[in-house]
Amino acid sequence: MKRDPNQIQIEFEQIRPEPILSHPSTSAQSGVTTQLYMEQYLSQVDLIKRIDALENEMKKLEGFFAVNTAVINTLGNPRWELRQPLSISVEQRGVEDFVACLYDVDLYGYGDTVPEALNDLKIAVINQFEYLIGQDRKIQLGKPLKRQLQFLRNILVKTDA
């Protein structure tokens, strides 16, 4: 919201600060009072300009950083099926910036659209599961990866394709 400079002047007149030195007895003190008064006034002008700038930036960001939920029933891969539908959080971080999040196991997909982000997440789920299966045979996985592998084993099943 852009403010009219005349409107700002009216607002300043309504919130004009009282001088810090209230009873100047000499002209030197009066000069100090005037200077302090002007500094306060200019500080308030600067503050209102900053508030206006922040309000404009906030308006630009409205509608972004939205979080929605999508449900996927398939991974789009003939070798793997889901045992049950998965609830996915989809974050919109910009006009063309989406992140599909499977928070249960910290896996994410990215894209310029919601379908792109979901497809990227599906690929990430399959790749991570296949990687963890291979690593589990070779090394002892740490707790976070064991938890991730167990979750993926519970939701994925290999097909005969």
> Is the pLDDT reported for residue 28 higher than 90?
no
In the chain, % of residues over pLDDT 70: 76
Rounded to an integer, the average pLDDT of 47-63 is 80
pTM of the model: 0.61
Q: What are the tens digits of pLDDT across the range 61-73?
A: 666 678 899 999 9
Domain ranges of the chain: 5-61, 66-158
User: Is the model more confident about 58 or about 104?
Assistant: 104
Helices (H), 15-74: 27-61
Tokens of 27: 């002209």
The number of beta carbons lying within 10 Å of the beta carbon of residue 109 is 21
